[in-house]
Chains A and B, each alone.
Chain A
Amino acid sequence: MWVHMFGYFSASGMNEPDIKCERLAPSEYQKRFSDIKPAFNQNQALVESSRCLYCEAAPCVQACPTHINVPSFIHRINTNNIDGAAKTILEANIFGGSCARVCPTEILCEKACVRNFEPECQPIQIGRLQRYAIDNFSQEQYPFQRATPSGKKVAVVGAGPAGISCAHGLACMGHDVIIIDAGTKPGGLNEYGIAAYKLVDDYAQEEIEKITEIGGIEWKLNTHLGLDIQLDTLREQYDAVFLAIGLSDKRTLSLSGEESAGVKHAVDDIAELRRTENLSQISVGKRVVVIGGGNTAIDIACQIKRLGAETVVMVYRRSVECMSATWKEQKFALLNGVEIRTNCQPVAIQHDSGKVTGLLLDQTVGNSDSAERISIDADIIYRAIGQTMCCEHLALDKEIPEIQNGRITVDEQRRTTVKGVWAGGDCVDFGENLTVQAVQHGKEAAASIDRYLKTGG
């Protein structure tokens, strides 16, 4: 575990980094990492669902990348038809359960809700109602059945939401699917990329089990595309291939001192926080700086603060309006005691004896060109400046799908430039890299692959 990779803990010298585990009393960990948005009870769900206006051509449906029929499922909740509500959701979005928890609804369905207008100025809590419907679905299995087996086999590379969504769609249509993934567990970013308090109680795995219960889906984990298996081989062995390989290369800053111990990637520790059995054993700096302005930066900043860091400062090079973290996430960070500093361009990482001691920044004020050089002391610096696609996955193949600006090129049906190969999820997406968007890509690809397998073209 990475905790043990560094051989140092809290030290005595002034400039010695103060990094240690067990910063909190044992009882605090559970409290600080329990569900941040607890489930609705029946009464809350009835009251909230009765606020829905059952809009005509509802904007929330259009705003959802998977086009869940929101007014209909809410109406069903309100009339105590919970199973009907869950079916409505799952038919459009097989990851309805985790999307209900992790979707930034404030920029999707809830942003479009007409209740945002005066006089209410408060959208329906669509995400929480969606969770209520899925959590209270009474049947053992998700309500899908496989069509007559087609005898066709499809390889899906990547066990994240895009890959599993595609696999489920294909399995429903009667095709056999093998899901290949480099990880030891399926789930992709739903398993490893979400703040622990957003998806508690191993929900990502529970949901995947439910989704794949339909049958016809085989797993091949611990298998790296490009290393253990090639796209060429998959194209020979399977009738179609869906690439949902995400963005596995982490961006670096190219700053002096970046190689110092204590300079980390946010995604690594976000994953570690999901993996660990014991949060108290995660070592945390006393003074932490997070570089970046997206939701990943917020996720690491808030989690580290909750693990007992004394100060957590998020630094972002541009203005607050440019931050990709939603206003709700920013507010959450502030509530957690994270300090957000904008217009701060990192210049160099300060270090001593190979260990990070601080971050040097140029801070600009307003539109002024002149910058003030400042430094922030830090025991740990996280980089949360995005990921890129790892092109080595496809390096050895004879025929390589077109890649532009670090993303695989696809058409509206998610077809790549290589016949029989589709792609979806973050590896094709220049947008927000949302779970719900990935699910939709998988759905669209499954429909296209099905047409291809049935018609051969």
Chain B
Amino acid sequence: MADLSCSFLGIESPNPFWLASAPPTDKALNVYRAFEAGWGGAVWKTLGEDPPPVNVCSRYSAHKSSSGEVIGINNVELITDRPLSVNLSEIRQTKKDWPDRALIVSLMVPCEKKSWQDILKQVEDTGCDGVELNFGCPHGMPERGMGAAVGQVPEYIEMVTQWCKESTDLPVIVKLTPNITNITLSASAAKRAGADAVSLINTINSITGIDLDSMTALGAVGDKYTSGGYCGSAVKPIALNMVGQIGRHPETAGIPVSGIGGISNWHDAAEFIALGAGNVQVCTAAMLNGFKVISDLTDGLSQWMDSKGYKALNDFRGRALAGLTDWKYLDLNYKTVAHINQELCIQCGRCFAACEDTEHQAISVKPLSGEGWERRFEVQKEQCVGCNLCQITCPVNNCISMVRGNEGSEYLPWVRHPANPLTEKP
């Protein structure tokens, strides 16, 4: 069996799955249940200064598929609404009872050096393994000058991170907001300030939907609503990109990353690690399935690693980063052509509709003689630009494959292409 144990910033955990700082980690009771289920670690829900904030009702809303599957969740819950002392004593006891699990404490206090120094001192005393600076929360707290209000200004990230690094020996993880235009600027700021790691992504500003009867949003508080934070499987592609960009950018490459964002299964987790993440944090999958999902996350990851011959997480960590590049370096000579496996084709014509109406008219349809309604869809290779849309619309796995058209062609990126006016002519 593959070894899932994980050392992130020297913080050991039996597996790379930590619960992210969020409602599931607000109390010892929840965290104990999670650890009993097998979670490798937890980032305690963000602590702030007393008096604690007051939360609204309701707090969540979902974007669902038509068959009812949750695609993403929006939330407007603030940081912990319990007194600081209660949380601190529960954290202390939890670490004592679960010494082999990673226990990180998420923090958010006003942008004053003293506030950060004070809370760090108290947190250090709990015996926790590290702190995570919450510069990402996009709802409520930014209105008070905290959370994403810090994370959206690289200078503030740098300043506060520096204060914290000066004030504690605990590992400092900076949690980044995706509600910015270029994640590498925020990550560089954290790195410059000496952050031990960044974690990302926090939630994305969202409104999940409008109730067309009441003309308020889903999850409204009475007749009013506010922009919340979006999470769940819908945000995974955005998170993967940000993790990948940090991993390949010269100024940020190498900083340890705790990957967060829509990790719903082992496969998602493996993808983050393949893009360089040192570990992963999960919330929505637990909220939707309960803590028991951890056994499927670890088992799936371990089975897959066995099948690939990976003995430890480091064996594949960052492996997918090598190919991530700028568009201008993509090979313009690389060609693929769609191929329809007629044995598997169920004749729905979705590929035809997509290609004929919106692409390159590269699929033909012919009725099959004497076979009732049966017809045959075929790719017209000369017209096919290898866009993948037919494959995407096809409801049958492996029915449409993209076949390499010109094996062994010469690598020709835009930077060397004759049509590029900036290409240096020989």
Contacts and interface: CB of A to CB of B under 8 A. Distances in A.
Interface of A: 43, 46-47, 49-50, 53-59, 62-63, 78-79, 112, 114-115, 117-119
Given A56-B352, A119-B397, 9 more contacts: A43-B68, A46-B66, A53-B348, A53-B350, A56-B353, A58-B349, A59-B373, A62-B373, A78-B66
Q: How large is the interface on B (under 10, 10 to 19, 20 to 34, 35 or more residues)?
A: 10 to 19
Contact of A49 (B66, B350, B352): B66
Contact of B346 (A54, A57, A63, A114): A114
Contact of A55 (B66, B349, B396): B349
A119 B349 contact: no
A114 B347 contact: yes
B214 to A, nearest CB: 16
Contacts of A112: 372-373
Q: Which A-B residue pairs are the 7 nearest by beta carbons?
A: A56-B349, A59-B373, A117-B346, A50-B67, A56-B353, A114-B346, A53-B348
B395 interface: yes
A55 B347 CA distance: 8
Contacts of B353: 56
A55 B350 contact: yes
B392 interface: no
B376 to A, nearest CB: 13
A240 to B, nearest CB: 35
Nearest to B344: A118
Contacts of A57: 349, 365, 375
B62 to A, nearest CB: 15
Interface in B340-386: 344, 346-350, 352-353, 365, 372-373, 375
B65 interface: yes
14 contacts: A46-B66, A47-B67, A47-B68, A50-B65, A55-B347, A55-B348, A57-B365, A58-B349, A59-B372, A59-B373, A79-B66, A114-B347, A114-B348, A117-B347
A53 B372 CA distance: 19
A47 B65 CA distance: 10
Contacts of B373: 59, 62-63, 112
Contacts of A47: 67-68
A115 B348 CA distance: 8
Interface in B61-118: 65-68
Contacts of A49: 66
Contacts of B350: 53-56
For A55, A62, A118, the residue with the greatest tally of chain B CB atoms inside 10 Å of its CB is A55
The interface residues of chain B, by DSSP majority, are classed as loop
B100 to A, nearest CB: 43
B398 to A, nearest CB: 10
Contacts of A58: 349
Given A56-B352, A59-B373, A115 B66 contact: no
Nearest to A77: B66
A289 B346 CA distance: 43
Contact of B66 (A50, A56, A114, A118): A50
A78 B68 CA distance: 11
A59 B348 CA distance: 8
Contacts of B372: 59, 112
A118 B353 CA distance: 21
A63 B373 CA distance: 8
Contacts of A119: 396-397
Interface string B405-423: 0000000000000000000
A115 B67 CA distance: 17
B178 to A, nearest CB: 29
Given A112-B372, A119-B397, A59 B67 contact: no
A115 B68 contact: no
Nearest to B373: A59
A78 B353 CA distance: 20
A46 B69 CA distance: 11
A112 B396 CA distance: 17
Nearest to B347: A114
Contacts of B67: 46-47, 50
A57 B346 CA distance: 13
Contacts of A78: 66
A43 B68 CA distance: 8
A115 B346 contact: yes
Interface string B183-209: 000000000000000000000000000
A49 B67 CA distance: 8
Nearest to A63: B373
Contacts of A50: 65-67
Contacts of B344: 118
Nearest to B363: A56
B367 to A, nearest CB: 10
Contacts of A59: 347, 372-373
Nearest to B349: A56
A54 B66 CA distance: 14
A49 B65 CA distance: 12
Contacts of A63: 373
Contacts of A53: 348, 350, 395
Contacts of A55: 347-350
A169 B344 CA distance: 43
Nearest to A51: B67
Contacts of B347: 55, 59, 114, 117
B110 to A, nearest CB: 46
A119 B399 CA distance: 11
Nearest to A49: B66
A76 to B, nearest CB: 11
A74 to B, nearest CB: 11
Nearest to B395: A53
For B67, B344, B372, B373, the residue with the greatest tally of chain A CB atoms inside 10 Å of its CB is B373
Contacts of B68: 43, 46-47
Nearest to A62: B373
Contacts of A43: 68
A97 to B, nearest CB: 24
A139 B347 CA distance: 37
Contacts of B346: 114-115, 117-118
B338 to A, nearest CB: 16
Contacts of B65: 50
A352 B350 CA distance: 66
Nearest to B69: A50
Nearest to B397: A119
Nearest to A50: B67
A43 B67 CA distance: 8
Contacts of A46: 66-68
Nearest to A75: B66
Interface string B40-71: 00000000000000000000000001111000
A55 B374 CA distance: 13
A117 B345 CA distance: 8
Contacts of B396: 119
A202 B365 CA distance: 46
A43 to B, nearest CB: 7
Interface in B105-148: none
A79 B66 CA distance: 7
Contacts of A115: 346
A59 B365 CA distance: 13
Contacts of B348: 53, 55-56, 114
B297 to A, nearest CB: 26
A63 B374 CA distance: 11
B210 to A, nearest CB: 14
B172 to A, nearest CB: 46
Nearest to A54: B350
Contacts of B395: 53
